[in-house]
Amino acid sequence: MKTTKRLLQTGALTLSLLATGVMAAVSADEAAKLGNTLTPVGAEKAGNADGSIPAWTGGLPVNAGAVDSAGFLADPFPSEKPLFTITAQNVEQYKDKLTPGQYAMFKRYPETYRMPVYTTHRTANVPDSIVAATKENATNTKLIQGGEGLENFKFANPFPIPKDGLEAIWNHITRYRGASVRRHVVQVTPQANGSFSPVSLEEEFAFRSMMKGVDTSQPSNILFYFKQRVTAPSRLAGNVLLVHETIDQVKEPRMAWLYNAGQRRVRRAPQVSYDGPGTAADGLRTSDNLDMYNGSPDRYDWQLLGKKEIYIPYNSYRLDSPKLKYTDIVKPGHLNPDLTRYELHRVWHVTATLKQGERHIYAKRDFYIDEDTWQAAAIDHYDGRGTLWRVAEAHAQYYYDKQVPWYAVEVIHDLLSGRYLALGLKNEEKQAYEFDYPAKESDYTPAALRQSGVR
Model confidence, pTM = 0.93
Query: What pLDDT does residue 77 have?
Result: 98
> Is residue 24 very low, low, confident or very high in pLDDT (cuts 50, 70, 90)?
low
Q: Which of the four pLDDT bands, split at 50, 70 and 90, describes residue 262?
A: confident
pLDDT tens-digit readout, 351-405: 999 999 999 999 999 999 999 999 999 999 999 999 999 999 999 999 999 999 9
With cut-offs at 50, 70 and 90, classify the pLDDT of residue 453: low
User: Taking Cα atoms as reference points, which of 183, 161, 222 lies closest to residue 24?
Assistant: 161
Structure confidence at residue 145 (pLDDT): 80
Q: Are 261 and 210 in contact (CB under 8 A)?
A: no
Q: Which of 87-96, 210-219, 340-349 bottoms out in mean pLDDT, i.e. has the lowest?
A: 210-219
Peptide linkage before 233 cis (omega within 30 of 0): yes
Among 47-61, 65-79, 291-305, 435-449, name the one with the lowest average pLDDT. Answer: 435-449
CATH of the domain spanning 84-453: 2.50.20.10
Question: For the residues 292-316, what does the mean pLDDT come to?
Answer: 97
Question: Rounded to an integer, what distance in angstroms lies between the CA atom of residue 36 and that of residue 42?
Answer: 10
Q: How far is CA 389 from CA 115, 281, 304, 331, 418, in A?
A: 20, 16, 22, 20, 11
Query: What percent of the chain has a predicted confidence (pLDDT) above 90?
Result: 83
Give the model's pLDDT for residue 452: 66
Percent of the chain with pLDDT over 70: 94
pLDDT for residue 271: 92
pLDDT reading at 451 higher than 80: no
Is-contact 316 277, C-beta < 8 A?
A: no
Question: Per residue in 74-86, is it b (16+ CB within 10 Å) or e — as a string?
Answer: ebbbeeeeeeeeb
Reference 205, options 188, 220, 191, 185; nearest CA is 185
For residue 6, pLDDT over 50 is answered with no
Whole-angstrom Cα distance, residue 226 to residue 404? Answer: 17
pLDDT band at 8, cuts 50/70/90? very low
> Is residue 83 pLDDT above 60, yes or no?
yes
Residue 137 pLDDT greater than 90, yes or no: yes
Amino acid 11: pLDDT? 42
Q: Label residue 148 by pLDDT band (50, 70, 90).
A: confident
| Residue pair 333/85 in contact by the 8 Å Cβ criterion | no
**Averaged over 246-263, what is the pLDDT?**
88
Torsion on CA atoms 288, 290, 296, 297, rounded to nearest 10? 70
- Share the mean pLDDT of the chain: 92
* Across 67-88, average pLDDT: 96
